[in-house]
Amino acid sequence: MQPLFFKRRRLAVAMLLTALSATAAAAPQTFVLVPEATHVHWELRHFGTSTSRGRFDAVAGSVTLDREARTASASITIDTGSISTGMRLFDGIVRGEQILDAAANPQAYFIASRATFDGERLATLTGEFTLRGVSRPLTLRALQFGCRTDTGTVPPAASAPAAPHEVCGGDFEGEFQRSDFGITHSLPFVGDAVRLVVQVEGVRR
C-alpha cells in the first residue's frame, strides 16, 4: 500500500490538471476563416422586377468565441475588387467609381465586438461596417451556426494544425442602405436596400 502522502499528492495533481483543462475549455477561442469556405453575397432589387446578386470571393479574418461567457468578436476584411456577378461587364461597372470605387477603396471591413447567443449558439454579431471609407453600424443575424470536429486535411490557407481540429461556421444575414455609403448610382430604379448573406467557416487556431 502506498503511503498516504503519495496518494494525496496524486489526487492534488489530478485535481490541478482537471482545473487547468476546464480553464482552457472556458477560455476565448479564435477561429481563422478558411478562404475557400468564406464568401460575402449581396442582393438588391433591380428595376422593381428581378434581383441583382453577386459575391465577394476574397474574404479574410477571424472570429473569437467565449462560449461560456457568451461573448464574441470578429474582424473581417473584404477585397472589393473580388466582386463576381457572373457578368464581366457588370463586374467592371460595380468596381467603378460610381459604386464600389475599388481602385480608391480596395478593402471593406466589418469589425464586431458585441454578440448575442442562443444557448451556446452564436445568434448575432454587431459592429461597424466600413465601405468606401464610410463606417456605419451593422448587425449580422445567424441563419444557422454550428461547430464540428474534422478529421480531414485542413486547407493550407487556414494555417491550422493537423487533424483532428474544430471548425465553426454558419450563414449570417444583414441589411444596409447603400446611399448611407455614398452609393446613389441608379436610384431609385435600382434598390437602396442591400441584403448581405455572409457564409463563414473558421478553423480553431
- Give the pLDDT confidence of 161-176 residue by residue, as tens digits: 566 889 999 999 999 9
Neighbours of 61 (CB within 10 A): 19
pLDDT at 3 over 80: no
**Residue 23: pLDDT band with limits 50, 70, 90:** very low
Which pTM value belongs to this model? 0.80
Which CATH superfamily, name and number, covers 27-204? Lipid/polyisoprenoid-binding, YceI-like (2.40.128.110)
The alpha-helical segments, DSSP class H, found in the chain are 4-26, 88-95
Mean pLDDT (whole number) for 126-131: 98
Percent of the chain with pLDDT over 70: 81
| Torsion (CA) 43, 47, 48, 50 in degrees, nearest 10 | -50
pLDDT at 14 over 60: no
- Distance between CA atoms of residues 126 and 133, nearest Å: 19
Judge whether 83 and 111 are in contact, CB under 8 Å: no
pLDDT at 12 over 50: no
Give pLDDT, residue 120.
Answer: 83
Give pLDDT, residue 27.
Answer: 86
Mean pLDDT (whole number) for 19-35: 70
- Distance between CA atoms of residues 205 and 195, nearest Å: 30
Phi, psi of 82 (to 5 degrees): -90, 20
Return the bridge partners of 65, or none.
29, 72
Would you state the cell numbers that stand for residue 64, as one nine-digit string?
A: 473569437
- Distance between CA atoms of residues 191 and 195, nearest Å: 10
pLDDT at 11 over 50: no
Neighbours of 147 (CB within 10 A): 18
